[in-house]
Homo-oligomer: A and B are copies of this chain.
Amino acid sequence: MEDVPALGDALPLVATDPRWLGIALADLDAVHADHLHCERKAAQSALSLIRSYPQHTDLVTAMARLAHDETRHVVQVSQLMSRRGQPAAYDFGDDYAAKLREHIRKGEPSLRLDRLLVFAVIEGRSAERLQLLADALEDPKSRELYASLATAEVRHRDIFLALARDADPTGWRARAAELAAIEAEILENRAISARIH
């Protein structure tokens, strides 16, 4: 896992619209409420890969560790919300992730490669936006938390990329670029809101 593919630096392919940060900062409660579920779903997605690919020992260990990280993030975000006196809210669903998942090809080995790369793309975008928040937040504890979460998501992006490279050493790079372009287009055609994606 140490030899991180250089392509990681190209995820996300297109920077977040500069208007997003202002919209997010104007309704931090909504951002945190959405963020809690993002971390929960990231943990669940990692666990779902263990269910699908138990025979891939490296993937099982990496995904169990990643889910372990993400569940700590759920604790941390829920604690932040408690400090702000904000109860969590229902998850309103995530059509951003759903639209990306539509591009996952059926049938192995494409299915495994695409699942890993879609998660890499989502982690890359999350890392970028959490860092934007970290740099802009005023509360020191929140800044620190968001900076640490952004760093973790960069690491997770690169774990998914390394697993994708193992799954398809010759094809992963081109497919990652395709999915990164698709992700940029999905965001471009989407209303900007006070959510992580």
- Candidates B54, B55, B74; contact of A64 at CB < 8 Å: B74
- 23 pairs from A and B in contact (CB 8 Å cutoff): A36-B50, A36-B54, A40-B50, A43-B47, A43-B71, A44-B44, A44-B47, A47-B71, A54-B88, A54-B91, A55-B88, A55-B90, A57-B78, A57-B81, A61-B78, A61-B79, A64-B74, A64-B75, A64-B78, A67-B67, A67-B71, A68-B71, A68-B74
Q: Is the CB of B89 within 8 A of A51?
A: no
A195: min CB distance to chain B, Å: 15
Does residue A18 face the partner (Cβ distance < 8 Å to B)?
A: no
Number of interface residues, chain A, beta carbon within 8 A: 31
- Of all chain B residues, the one with the shortest Cβ separation from A50 is B40
Q: Is the CB of A87 within 8 A of B44?
A: no
Main secondary structure of the interface of A (DSSP, over half): helix
Kindly list the 10 A-B residue pairs having the minimum CB-CB distance in the complex, ordered from nearest: A54-B88, A68-B71, A64-B74, A67-B71, A64-B75, A60-B78, A55-B87, A61-B78, A44-B47, A40-B47
